[in-house]
Amino acid sequence: MAALQAFIEAEGTSAVARSYVCADGFRLGIWVHNMRSRYHRGALSESQIAVLQRAGIQWRVLDVGERRDGAVQALRAYRIEHNALPPVGYVTAEGLALGAWLQAMRHRARAGSNSALAILEALDVPLWEREHEAQWLAGMESLRRYIEAFGDTRVPLRWRDAAGFRLGRWVNSRRADAAAGRLSPYRRDALIEVGFEFVLGPSSHSQARKQREDQHFQERVRELVAFVDQYGHAKVPVRYVTADGTQLGRWAVRQRRERNAGRLDPARVSRLEDLGFAWSLRSPST
């Protein structure tokens, strides 16, 4: 059973060739053939039949075309009923390991199989799906409640709902998925339906924050100008504190760190360099 389950997970089917032998030497093909023969003779117990069917065994071996067509039809029916893709362990009432089949098709397509890629494209199935269905449904429900309460989808990054769901991170991940092309069409449609903003433009809140940051920067620059006037250079010591109690030295350290990481606005870099701001306090080597 362990060998059969591993095969189904890897191949998406229980159609094991009779000559198939596992890496450890177990003759899985013959074993599966014997199980089918015993089933048709009525020689399997009900518990054995149940275990094999849960694993996804197919009692009648179909050819490649029949297996593919059956899986495609089953997947379409599942999506119509659930508006989702089946989980990896899902098995149809007929014993088709549909979830494992879909996983195998994605693996083959990502490995370069044109036939697998064509099937997935025809079914409008993405190669990557980062999020399990239960998590997706929980995120959508939490987002709807947020929209009802606040009227938009601009969820703060650290926001959690009353149940503790990290909606801010979930929303941020969905925007990243959309930007990278990882969001399936049906999930994109579901987000569009609730008015989801895939790209956040400037809001009154963000503009007010930028104004505060600009004002803070200009205040520190005025203090830096005073420092230069007094000491004749812009190498502010790390522990330097102004007469008003401003920790100008620590502010200077942050500017150096932000600039070295490429996050400091070029206009701010230029303004500081006009004052002779030192991007490093280390003395040049001689």
Q: Which pLDDT tens digit goes with each residue over 94-121?
A: 767 788 888 788 888 878 888 888 888 8
- 229-239, pLDDT tens digit by residue? 999 998 898 89
Q: What is the structure's pLDDT at 202?
A: 62
pLDDT band at 135 (very low <50, low <70, confident <90, very high): confident
Cβ neighbours of residue 76 closer than 8 Å, sequence gap 6 or more? 123
The residue with greater pLDDT, 128 or 195, is 195
Distances (CA, A) of 203 to 136, 152, 199, 210: 27, 11, 12, 11
Is residue 145 over pLDDT 60?
yes
pLDDT band at 143 (very low <50, low <70, confident <90, very high): very high
Contact 75, 86 (CB under 8 A): yes
Q: What is the structure's pLDDT at 284?
A: 47
Q: What is the structure's pLDDT at 132?
A: 65
- 10-43, pLDDT tens digit by residue? 777 777 877 778 888 899 988 998 998 888 888 9
Overall average pLDDT of the 126-149 stretch: 79
Which amino acid would we find at residue 8? I
Cβ neighbours of residue 100 closer than 8 Å, sequence gap 6 or more? 8, 9, 11, 12, 56, 88, 89
Residue-by-residue DSSP string for 4-70: HHHHHHHHS-----TT---TTS--HHHHHHHHHHHHHHT-S-HHHHHHHHHHT--SSPPPHHHHHHH
What global pTM score does this model have? 0.35
What share of the chain in percent tops pLDDT 70?
A: 88
pLDDT band at 225 (very low <50, low <70, confident <90, very high): very high
3 state SS of 277: strand
- 156-214, pLDDT tens digit by residue? 888 888 888 889 889 988 998 888 777 878 788 889 999 999 987 665 555 666 777 88
Q: What is the mean pLDDT of the chain?
A: 82
Is residue 130 over pLDDT 60?
no
Looking at beta carbons, which pairs linking 255-261 to residues 24 or more positions away fall under 8 Å? 256/280
